[in-house]
Amino acid sequence: MNVSFAPLQPDAVRYLTRATGIDFSWCNFDDPRWFCVTARDEDDEVMGVLACEFKNSFDVHFSTAILDQRCMSKRLLRTIFRTLFAKAVRVTALVSPANARAIKQMRRMGFVYEGFMRKGVEGHRDALMFGMLAEDCRFLPGYQPTLATVPPLPLGGYHGLHS
């Protein structure tokens, strides 16, 4: 396996777009706001792609598509999360409610479910929002497992939810 921490190549962009259903073709991955990782097999075929965009001074948005789980080694994940948390306080991931595999992967990595976003992806698709803080990340030194939770909120108004 070969891993690159360089801006995404066109085939990796196409794979990420196809796998996530999000159009990444417009993105300038040379921009310093992006942190990218591409894993390739011995035939130079894409095994996995990660594109993280630093949205502001504290939050980075995490987008990934994995074809072969073997590319997600603990060593690689440790490097990725050390890099992200060196610059950000939190990592945010939006996942399709229908993508059970991705939801399971988010939880396995330590992401905490934080909510439901109506039309949260490109303004036309619903998304589950997951977040991770450094203390949630099992790939960082000093990790102490705890059960992170989001407190329930009393809901009122006309949004279809009843308290």
Q: What CATH number does domain 2-136 carry, 3.40.50.280, 3.40.630.30, 3.30.70.260, 3.30.2420.10? A: 3.40.630.30
Residue 5 backbone dihedrals phi, psi, to 5 degrees: -105, 40
Residue in 70, 73, 54 with CA at minimum distance from that of residue 62: 54
Would you give per-residue pLDDT tens digits along the chain (163 residues)? 899 999 999 999 999 999 998 999 999 999 999 999 999 999 999 999 999 999 999 999 999 999 988 888 999 999 999 999 999 999 999 999 999 989 998 998 889 999 999 998 888 899 999 999 999 899 998 888 776 666 666 655 554 444 4
Residues constituting the chain: 163
Query: Quick check: 63 and 22 in contact, CB under 8 A?
Result: yes
| pTM score of the predicted model | 0.84
State both tokens at 32. Answer: 């310093």
